[in-house]
Amino acid sequence: MSTYRTVGDEGLMAGTERHVPANGVQLCVDTFGAPEHPAVLLVSGASNSMDWWADGLCRRLADGGRYVVRYDHRDTGRSTGWPAGSPDYHFDDLVADAAALIDRLGLGATHVWGISMGGAIAQRLAVEHPERVASLTLSSTSPALRIGKRPYPDLPPMSRELMASFGESRPDPDWDDPDSIVEHIAAGQRPLTGSVPLAGVELRELVARAVARTVDIRASLANHWSIDGGAEYRDALPGITVPALVVHGTEDPLFPYGHGEALAAELPVARLLPLPGVGHQMPPRATWDMLVVEVLSHTGGGAGKPTG
């Protein structure tokens, strides 16, 4: 049984995006709030553009006095991309992109909120660029997550049900039909959700926006999974001294809840925030009332102003 309350409908996207040169590529960036407020950099998961950070969630953070920055990874959305199957970069470059973006935007020490692969990028930023990180919020991720590699063997494996779903053959969408692509991506998200899923209409709207904005959807869906996983850094986690909020769904089938527990235990200054009934997914709307208050408190206090 969930403890979350559903809130009113809010728009999914804003219209302030622009390109910023960083680390030799062009990253598409969108912002909310006033630049003089503390900055929160939102880092998406693998193959996910910034569209997955819902506009309503970003606005609540901005209403709470934060300058919210979200961006498209390279090979997603409208950022620089490579042909499908031929990414000429490594995971380390995704980390360097985020560090360079903080510098190019003049954000200073930034509160970094990363989800899934974005959580690994956030961890690496805190290890390798501590002067750029004011705090960490780590959602649906794992200690020293390495893209394209299995989690460390001391951590719980993915659920049998999810493993079985990965083994099922799914036909490719009709790449000339945006609706077919949207349904293909949405269907792939469903095995990852818990008992508090993104509502069907909300998920389709979010995916449709991402598909519409993405220059090369085939490359976006494929390329992050074929890059080098990057440097090992788990032993460096105890050296991260900024405060961390570890947010983890209790029904995450990809990185079961033990991953969040381990991550919180390995970071010196960390608090574990369970999301009952949530799987491996972007924060469902029903969690926002609680989650925004927690993140605002973690990043400097204040409370989100409900809208809708």
Q: What are phi and psi of 16, to 5 degrees?
A: -110, 20
Residues with a known catalytic role: 116, 252, 280
Tell me the C-alpha distance between 75 and 268, whole Å.
34
- Token pair of 164, please? 């079985």
Q: b/e for 180-216, b at 16 or more Cβ within 10 A?
A: ebbbbbbeebebbbbebbbeeebbbbbbbbbbebbee
Q: Which helix (H) or strand (E) holds 53?
A: none
Is 106 within 8 Å of 38 (Cβ atoms)? no
CA nearest 202: which of 115, 286, 270?
A: 286
One DSSP character per residue, 260-292 reads: HHHHHHHSSSEEEEEETT--SSSPPGGGHHHHH
The alpha-helical segments, DSSP class H, found in 8-135 are 55-63, 91-104, 117-128
Is 73 within 8 Å of 130 (Cβ atoms)? no
Is 220 within 8 Å of 47 (Cβ atoms)? yes
Indicate the residue type of 254.
L
